[in-house]
Chains A and B, each alone.
Chain A
Amino acid sequence: MLNIMEVHETNQMIEQEKLDVRTITMGISLLDCASANVDETCENIYRKITTYARDLVATGKAIEQDYGIPIVNKRITVTPISLVGASSCKSSEDFVKIAHALDRAAKEVGVDLIGGYSALVSKAMTPAEEMLIRSLPQALSETDIVCSSVNVGSTKTGIDMNAVALLGHIIKDIAARTADNDSYGCVKFVAFCNVPDDNPFMAGGFHGVTEGDAVINVGVSGPGVVSRALDAAKGKDFEFLCETIKRTAFKITRVGQLVAQEASRRLGVPFGIIDLSLAPTPAVGDSVGEVLEKIGLEQVGAPGTTAALAMLNDQVKKGGIMASSYVGGLSGAFIPVSEDKNMIDAAASGCLTMEKLEAMTCVCSVGLDMIAIPGDTSAATISGLIADEAAIGMVNQKTTAVRVIPVVGKGVGEMANFGGLMGYAPIMPVNNTSCEAFVNRGGRIPAPIHSFKN
């Protein structure tokens, strides 16, 4: 039978160490909503989402109350809209209509975010995919909770540099259209390489075409819990440290597994995966940066940061994988600058630089995430950042991503505020040496060789 210390430990994690389930995300296939007429497609999409996800928020709240565990977000992901809208959309404006339909449907069912206004163009863009990408500035500035992603490359296909070059301009345009709000629109867009089909986190979540009709995916959180557990590992060797992280990751993931199974049962929708990521929030004590500092760094960004992060990421996976039958999504440690108090501090003090963050993305689960850069950064430079990250992902067979915000009207040292879970960030300096001739060559970078690994 349970003892009082075990019960106390769990409740302490929830109340003091900010253990929460970050999101219950319902994936919904919209492939059967396509039609030859865009208004009809919009109607089909609205009807399917509001039918399938009708009880999602209420179910999430009921589970929250039953187990006493906060479930911070309830979200929806859908099939990449570039596919759903391909037969009916004749222009970018047509795609924007679909974005509005998604926004309305998501608001109707009361979810926090909806992801999947996306295109998968890792080899090349179809006319529909290009139209969707060109619609992003209007779509993201006119809607509130629609999130978008574009996959520009993969280990198997190489990198579509035409899309990369285009995205530099698109990101600048999104920033300009949402300039009043610290270029908030860019927070809702991410460029990927090797994007996973079942990611419950935003802005990169969508419902992959290999998925079933509907699915429940759950993203856990819990850097605060790991951080607290590491207090007991101070001064101990790596074996003890790793064991502590694994045990903690196991416990966190078990909570996610419970919530996922319960949500799946109550909603009558199959359980997909647990994404066992350490997802920070701007709140004090809920920081991946703090975990890295407790591992032994004076401040995140110091030499040793990449090694510490590699170890942390690996132990989180090792501990979490045994706790759940199905692990997927991004699964690892997130390093979104604006969403992590200690990262924000390190970026503001100059200890954490873009180049160090890029190195860190080689060993953790995502990429350059939630980084505010000067508003006057050129489109080519942003494309260069995307190309560099995509190359890291392509060569290392991992997911990488870029979500940078060129904050219009602000320069290095100023702060950008995105609000809520999205946090705030100091504008970080970017190397502005031109890469224009490189990104504008046109065509694609070929897939890397899969032998001669050195």
Chain B
Amino acid sequence: MFESLFPIIRHSGSFMNKAIITVVGQDTVGIIARVCTYLSQHNVNVLDISQTIIDGFFNMMMIVDYANADKDFSAMVGNLEDLGDDIGVRIRCQREEIFTKMHRI
């Protein structure tokens, strides 16, 4: 469903800057749409989306490539946080390495 809206492009060998966006909170209509709208407006490419319910809370994770983003990373982090406040969920955007370093040898 998301692929038709936001095609997942598999880069092969090209330069990427990956970040992980997580959304945690009460499920509501349009969360993914609003996050993706923001990302597309700023030329951030969505590579993967998954979601699940943990401890009764809606959890979504997006892997994105911000190599060609028109905003700097810290501004993006702030904007997404504000967007989360607006929707009533917690949105975090973190560079991927903190997760890969911790979970991959």
Contacts and interface: CB of A to CB of B under 8 A. Distances in A.
Contacts of A66: 73-74, 77, 94-95
A59 interface: no
A255 interface: yes
A3 B50 CA distance: 8
A6 B98 contact: no
Given A8-B59, A65-B77, A258-B97, 20 more contacts: A2-B20, A2-B61, A2-B96, A4-B60, A5-B54, A8-B54, A10-B99, A11-B22, A11-B24, A11-B92, A62-B74, A65-B73, A66-B73, A66-B95, A67-B97, A68-B92, A69-B98, A254-B102, A255-B101, A258-B101
B50 A10 contact: no
B37 interface: no
A437 interface: no
Interface string B71-105: 00110010000000000000011111111111100
Contact-residue bracket for chain A: 20 to 34
The B contact surface, by secondary structure, is strand
A67 B100 CA distance: 12
Contacts of B99: 2, 6-7, 10
Contacts of B98: 10, 67-69, 255, 258
Contact of B103 (A2, A11, A68, A258): A2
Contacts of B27: none
Given A10-B98, A255-B102, A258-B101, A2 B63 contact: yes
B102 A251 contact: yes
Given A3-B50, A7-B22, A7-B61, A67 B102 contact: no
The 8 closest A-B pairs by CB, nearest first: A68-B94, A67-B98, A4-B61, A6-B103, A254-B101, A258-B101, A251-B102, A66-B95
Contacts, number: 67
Contact of A2 (B54, B92, B93, B100): B100
A67 B92 CA distance: 10
Interface centre among A6, A62, A257 (most CB of B within 10 A): A6
A450 to B, nearest CB: 38
A67 B50 contact: no
Contacts of A8: 22, 54, 59, 61
26 contacts: A2-B99, A3-B50, A4-B51, A5-B54, A6-B102, A7-B20, A7-B22, A7-B61, A8-B59, A9-B103, A10-B102, A11-B22, A11-B24, A62-B74, A65-B73, A65-B74, A66-B74, A66-B77, A66-B94, A67-B95, A68-B92, A68-B93, A68-B98, A69-B98, A257-B101, A258-B97
